[in-house]
Amino acid sequence: MSYREMALANIGYCYSQIGDGKKAKEYYERTLKEFPGSGLAKSALNMMNSVEQTPSTKN
C-alpha cells in the first residue's frame, strides 16, 4: 500500500470517527478511484453501506 492510498483511507476513517459519514464516503470513494484494488477502502464502504441499509433498532 502506498503512502497516498493509506493517507486517503485514513482521512476517510477520521471523518467516520467524528460522525461525518458523507465526507468519509467521499474519501473512501476517492481512494478507490485512485487505487481500484484498495481492499481497505472497499471494506470500509461495504460496512458503511450495510449500516445505512440496516433498519434502526432504536425505539
Q: Which position has the higher pLDDT, 50 or 58?
A: 50
Q: Which position has the higher pLDDT, 56 or 52?
A: 52
CA 1 to chain centre: 16
Nine cell digits for residue 28: 473512501
pTM: 0.84
| pLDDT of the residue at 58 | 63
Give, as one character, the DSSP assignment of residue 40. H
Q: How confident is the model at residue 38 (pLDDT cuts 50, 70, 90)?
A: very high
pLDDT tens, 14-33? 999 999 999 999 999 999 99
